[in-house]
Chains A and B, each alone.
Chain A
Amino acid sequence: MFSYILRRVLQMIPTLAGVVLLIFFLFKWFGGDPADIMVGLNATKAQVASIRTQLGLDRPVWEQLWIFVQQIFTFNWGKSWATNEAISEIFATRLPVTLTIMIPILLLQVTLSIIAGMAVAYVRGSLLDRTVMLISTVALSISLLVYIVVGQYVFAFLLGWFPVQGWSDSLWKNLTTYAPLPVLLVVLVSLAPETRLYRSFFLDEIGHDYVRTARAKGVAENTILFKHVLRNAMIPILTNVATLLPGVFIGSFLIEAFFSIPGLGREVVTAVNRSDYPVIQAATVYLAALTMVINLATDVMYKFVDPRVVLK
């Protein structure tokens, strides 16, 4: 086990190095001169030169790359080009907000779609099953944006069940007042495709011999579904949750922009519109590293969920 994890961590190094190189050279070659972006049109030559020295732009490319790598490992990215706020400060204050929205979304989404997927798998082939599948096909063709626009209008504006948008400093107030509508909308919209996915996981298992054996010896259908099938379908479920996990940390851009939630996602969108490169670079590099760690953790989890899995 230990040697497996060690080997996987070593394998991550070239990929992570690739991410760093990709981001560095993408912004270096195609990103334009940071000094020009920062000082605007009416800058004197001296101002531009001073910024270039500050950012190390007057040094050779390899030294600049080294500075970039140092920034990644020391978490010291300097200050935002647009607001002069420390980048580490931006991450420290925006990430909790994003998590307040995204953790309830992930929990609700996974629980509800497992239940719905199982229910639909249980009645497979029936009219209800086909109706659900048809609805999810049609529902998928409408843009997420439409659901959010209409959802906000109906639930917040017409019915007044929730505030239209907003955010406060108290975690409890956020969770009970401001978060429910965005959470509800995202969960509802993702329910159709997720149910379809989980249904296929369960249907793959229901066809197996052990299910027939359990039925033959008289095990109740509920026990079969929740004890036998669910346990065996854990691997694809885990894989699916692992693909959703990195998104928890970056948040839903659309939701945060739409409901004016001051999270990381909105911060990155603003940074793109303001050409605030360090924020985008930091978010991209850390999220890529996090994705790799999550993937490794998932592979290790397989072993705990299903002892038959051999890690090699």
Chain B
Amino acid sequence: MSLDALQALPQSPGVWASAWKRLKGNRVGIISLVITLLFIGLVILAQLGLVAKDWQTEKGTAFAPPHFIGKIVDGSQTAVVEGAQGTAVDISDIDPLAPRYKEWAERAAQFKTSAMEKSDTLPFGADQLGRDIVSKVIKGAQVSITVGLISALFATIIGTVLGALGGYFGGKVGDVLEWVYNVFTSIPYILLMFSVAAVLKSGPLAKMFNGGVWTVIIILSVVGWTGIYRLVRAEYIKHRSREYVRAAEAIGASHTSRMFTHILPNISHVVLVQLSLHVVSFIKAEVILSFLGLGVPLDMVSWGTMLTEAQAELVQGKWWQLVAATAMMATFVTAFALLTDALRDALDPKLR
């Protein structure tokens, strides 16, 4: 074959290029991708402290309603005490503290206190402490999405590495890993989470994480890797004796190189889809964990803690925090779930 003929061969597009082409043709996929990217952008801005940095300042009065409702006038009035009868008696001559009043007044004047103007309404209302719901829900998005992404990433790494080892080597290694998998899956998911949570709460590791978000991330990723392991293992069993892997062996590629530079790219679509499926389920799990008191700490805010607070607020008719957190979470989760579906279709057209 001459060199010219070689160059004339049509260039076949790569896996990712053709997947992107298919994704572009999917209108729902593109819309959900845009929404997801907007949320990710918001998370990054919040992480950098550019938005919602002052979510803890008490900008409004307690439970200040949203702008479009206007100030709530409930008709009740502050009790006014009728002016005391009689004239005030001048007791300065017998008041033992009287000589020092002037001195104290001077000292007090040295400190500047600025009374913060608390507004009666905020763009989307305020919570019990008068914190702005809009900044709170953005900060909550940052925490919830970060927790979901990082724990899904960890779970995927654990699942992929163990699945690769088990599927590629099989034999004794595979048997041991299968045993570990059986042990983990025979314990009901939520009970395993609670065991890990209990240990992280009062064990020696508690001081290391100090009840922060890392506790949630560890609980979710230690418990959530099993499904990914199972799928990745099956893929490795399928791929390990394929010709391209044998060819790699023939040219002297090591086990590690065959596992991670040859096979892994070929199954990366499976891993990517699993990763995004787990992000959604971990964000939802965080809400439940936070409600049960095992989630993010009190000085932080996540969609889970907001929904937990909303329980008591709703009875008093303060619905805005519940609506804000639910709407944000539903939008992100729906967009992300649809994006996952679109990704699966784009990456694996043989499915369906």
Query: Do A and B share a complex?
Result: yes
Residues of A within 8 A of B (CB): 14-16, 18-19, 22-23, 26-27, 30-32, 37, 137-138, 140-146, 149-150, 153, 157, 246-247, 250, 253-254, 257-258, 268-269, 271-273, 275, 277, 280-281, 283-284, 287-288, 291-292
A143 cross-chain contacts in B, Cβ below 8 A: 284, 287-288, 303-304, 307, 326, 329
A253 cross-chain contacts in B, Cβ below 8 A: 190, 288, 292
Query: CB of B16 within 8 A of chain A?
Result: no
CB distance from B289 to the nearest CB of A (A): 10
Asked whether, in the complex, the Cβ of B205 is within 8 Å of the Cβ of A30, the reply is yes
B198, B291, B303: the one contacting A271 at CB < 8 Å is: B198
Complex: A232 Cα to B214 Cα, angstroms:
47
Complex: A14 Cα to B178 Cα, angstroms:
11
B290 nearest CB neighbor, chain A only = A145
Asked whether, in the complex, the Cβ of B199 is within 8 Å of the Cβ of A30, the reply is yes
Interface of chain B: mostly helix, strand, loop or mixed: helix
Asked whether, in the complex, the Cβ of A269 is within 8 Å of the Cβ of B199, the reply is no
Residues of B within 8 A of A (CB): 179-180, 182-184, 186-188, 190-192, 194-206, 284, 287-288, 291-294, 303-304, 307-308, 310-311, 314-315, 322, 326, 329-330, 333-334, 337-338
Q: List 23 A-B contacts (CB under 8 A).
A: A14-B179, A16-B186, A26-B199, A30-B199, A32-B199, A138-B330, A138-B334, A141-B330, A141-B334, A142-B329, A144-B287, A145-B287, A153-B314, A254-B288, A258-B291, A258-B311, A271-B198, A272-B201, A275-B198, A275-B201, A280-B198, A284-B194, A287-B191
The tally of CB-CB contacts under 8 A between chains A and B is 140
Complex: A16 Cα to B185 Cα, angstroms:
11
A292-B186 contact in complex given A138-B334, A150-B314, A254-B288, C-beta closer than 8 Å: yes
B195 cross-chain contacts in A, Cβ below 8 A: 23, 26-27, 280-281, 284
B284 cross-chain contacts in A, Cβ below 8 A: 143-144
B288 cross-chain contacts in A, Cβ below 8 A: 143-145, 253-254
Asked whether, in the complex, the Cβ of A283 is within 8 Å of the Cβ of B191, the reply is yes
A269-B292 contact in complex given A30-B199, A280-B194, C-beta closer than 8 Å: yes
Complex: A141 Cα to B315 Cα, angstroms:
24
Asked whether, in the complex, the Cβ of A287 is within 8 Å of the Cβ of B187, the reply is yes
CB distance from A208 to the nearest CB of B (A): 20
Complex: A243 Cα to B61 Cα, angstroms:
49
A18 cross-chain contacts in B, Cβ below 8 A: 179-180, 182-183
CB distance from B342 to the nearest CB of A (A): 13
B202 cross-chain contacts in A, Cβ below 8 A: 31-32, 37, 275
B194, B205, B338: the one contacting A268 at CB < 8 Å is: B194
B308 cross-chain contacts in A, Cβ below 8 A: 145
Asked whether, in the complex, the Cβ of B287 is within 8 Å of the Cβ of A32, the reply is no
Asked whether, in the complex, the Cβ of B179 is within 8 Å of the Cβ of A268, the reply is no
B334 nearest CB neighbor, chain A only = A141
CB distance from B331 to the nearest CB of A (A): 8
Asked whether, in the complex, the Cβ of A157 is within 8 Å of the Cβ of B315, the reply is yes
Asked whether, in the complex, the Cβ of B326 is within 8 Å of the Cβ of A257, the reply is no
B203 cross-chain contacts in A, Cβ below 8 A: 30-32
Asked whether, in the complex, the Cβ of B322 is within 8 Å of the Cβ of A291, the reply is no
Complex: A87 Cα to B337 Cα, angstroms:
42
Asked whether, in the complex, the Cβ of A142 is within 8 Å of the Cβ of B180, the reply is no
Closest A-B pairs by Cβ, 9 of them: A18-B183, A141-B333, A32-B203, A275-B202, A141-B334, A30-B199, A288-B187, A143-B287, A30-B203
A137-B190 contact in complex given A19-B183, A254-B291, A275-B202, C-beta closer than 8 Å: no
**A141, A142, A253: residue with the most chain B Cβ atoms closer than 10 Å:** A141
B194, B307, B314, B330: the one contacting A272 at CB < 8 Å is: B194
A269 cross-chain contacts in B, Cβ below 8 A: 194, 292-293
Complex: A183 Cα to B294 Cα, angstroms:
24
A21 nearest CB neighbor, chain B only = B183
Known: A144-B287, A144-B288, A269-B194; 10 extra A-B contacts, CB below 8 A, are A18-B182, A19-B183, A141-B329, A144-B284, A146-B322, A149-B311, A153-B315, A280-B198, A284-B195, A291-B187
